[in-house]
């Protein structure tokens, strides 16, 4: 399954415009709140120069890149956690995503209305994130009474850890802190993930700037990075410009970006940073003349990576034949790697590395 990323923010900050730029689509983007009612969904390739080099070398019949699935969600307003605006529908949609891209308006334009009357990206960030915290707090407080009764009746209950994790989460949320910024153990975090809480999801910030603020985003982005903290990613993107460039050929886009002093597109930054947000890496398979890139979390053992391709491959895993992408490109073929003794055989404990080219052997 591709990484699933939700694009959120207040109305009229540029969410649908960014979505159009990412997907080269035509989602409606208009100057009024709640233009997006039903979420728009698009699948975007992860930029991957290594995959293209492998394709040129190996000449497979098909070549399939890793992808990110983006969802453009209706604008969130103050009170969404209580059902204001399209709050209930918004929150139901956003619970299904793996990560969030929070679009903040950093450009002035008298022709584009702001739901709060003025442009203030830090205020907007606090508005949206407060609603996420309140929605999480409601879920936690609904779940705790039942768990408390269970633990009081049976202190050794298997649900004790879940109760402890939720109790700790309530304290964190009551302080106005996102769950992603709190110190939970791996076991506690696993319990919390079962509740599809919103503030636990990793978040990337996109500062939607004017073209004149490119390439670094200018003062608005510097201020956001300072106030949001160094650990949070803030990417300057001129969404309107990127949406227009998305309608041009790749060569025309490159020419325009050279003139603007942009080394790579804002869209590409959003895709790659979204991919990195959950510490995903890429490995490759070549089987039946099909070259494919797969995304997997860093630290994943080989059998579980094989299970992404087919559950039978994980159950019947025997071993993996592995080569680094760079070694394969230098050797020219898998056969040449084998002859040179550079094709490694790895077992159940092998941790997949970024750029691995893997042939899985398994029993049916």
Check residue 144 and give its pLDDT: 95
Q: Tell me if residue 319 falls in helix, strand or coil.
A: strand
Q: Computed from CA positions of residues 21, 22, 28, 30, in that sequence, does the dihedral angle turn out positive or negative?
A: negative
Q: Give burial (CB, 10 Å; 0-12/13-18/19+) of 40.
A: buried
Question: Average pLDDT of each block of 10 consecutive residues along the chain (364 residues)?
Answer: 85 88 61 48 90 95 93 70 50 81 86 70 90 91 94 91 96 94 94 92 92 84 83 84 87 86 84 87 94 96 96 96 95 88 93 97 92
Instruction: Give the whole-angstrom CA distance, residue 204 versus residue 175.
Output: 22
Any idea how long the chain is? 364
> Residue 58 half-sphere exposure, CB side, CA atoms within 13 Å?
27
Helical residues (DSSP H) of the chain, grouped into ranges? 15-23, 49-58, 87-94, 121-153, 160-174, 186-193, 218-228, 239-245, 250-260, 266-277, 302-309, 311-315, 325-331, 334-339
Q: Give me the pLDDT at residue 341, please.
A: 84
CA dihedral 185, 188, 189, 191 (to 10 degrees): 160
Q: All domains of the chain, ordered by start, with CATH?
A: 3-47+66-115+201-277 (3.40.50.300), 129-193 (1.10.150), 281-362 (3.10.20.30)
CA–CA distance, 82 with 131 (Å, rounded to integer): 9
Residue 270: both structure tokens together: 């959003």
Burial class (CB in 10 A: 0-12, 13-18, 19+), 10: buried
Q: β-pairing, 99-105 with 233-237?
A: unpaired
Q: Rounded CA gap, 103 and 237, in Å?
A: 10
Closest-CA residue to 181 (of 165, 163, 169)? 169
pLDDT for residue 39: 67
**pLDDT at residue number 311:** 94
Alpha-carbon distance of 309 to 15, in angstroms, equals 33
* Structure tokens belonging to residue 147: 């768990």
């Amino acid at each position: 399954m591709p990484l699933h990323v939700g694009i959120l923010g207040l109305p009229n900050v540029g969410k649908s415009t960014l979505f159009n730029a990412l997907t080269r689509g035509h989602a409606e983007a208009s100057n009024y709140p709640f233009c997006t009612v039903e979420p728009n969904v698009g699948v975007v390739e992860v930029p991957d120069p290594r995959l293209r080099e492998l394709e040129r070398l190996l000449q497979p019949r098909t070549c399939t890149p890793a992808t990110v699935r983006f969802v453009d969600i209706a604008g969130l307003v103050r009170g969404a956690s209580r059902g204001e605006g399209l709050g209930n529908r918004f929150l139901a949609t956003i619970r299904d995503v793996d990560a969030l891209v929070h679009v903040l308006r950093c450009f002035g334009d008298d022709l584009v209305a702001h739901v709060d009357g003025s442009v203030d990206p830090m205020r907007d960030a606090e508005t949206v994130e407060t609603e996420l915290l309140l929605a999480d707090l409601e879920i936690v407080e609904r779940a705790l009474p039942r768990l408390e009764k269970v633990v009081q009746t049976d202190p050794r209950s298997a649900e004790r850890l879940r109760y402890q994790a939720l109790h700790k989460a309530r304290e964190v949320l009551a302080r106005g802190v996102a769950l992603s910024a709190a110190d939970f153990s791996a076991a506690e975090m696993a319990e919390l993930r079962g509740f599809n809480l919103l503030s636990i999801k990793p978040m990337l910030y996109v500062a939607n700037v004017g073209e004149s603020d490119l390439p670094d985003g200018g003062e608005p982005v510097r201020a956001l990075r300072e106030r949001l903290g160094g650990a949070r990613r803030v990417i300057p993107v001129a969404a309107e410009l990127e949406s227009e460039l998305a309608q041009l050929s790749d060569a025309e886009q490159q020419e325009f970006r050279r003139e603007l002093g942009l080394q790579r597109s804002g869209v590409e930054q959003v895709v790659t940073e979204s991919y990195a947000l959950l510490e995903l890496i890429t490995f490759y398979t070549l089987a039946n003349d099909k070259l494919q890139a797969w995304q997997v979390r860093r630290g994943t053992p080989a059998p579980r990576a094989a299970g992404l391709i087919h559950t039978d491959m994980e159950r019947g895993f025997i071993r993996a034949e592995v080569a680094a992408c760079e070694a394969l490109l230098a050797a020219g073929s898998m056969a040449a790697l084998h002859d040179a003794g550079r094709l490694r055989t790895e077992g159940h404990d092998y941790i997949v590395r970024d750029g691995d080219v893997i042939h899985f052997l398994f029993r049916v």
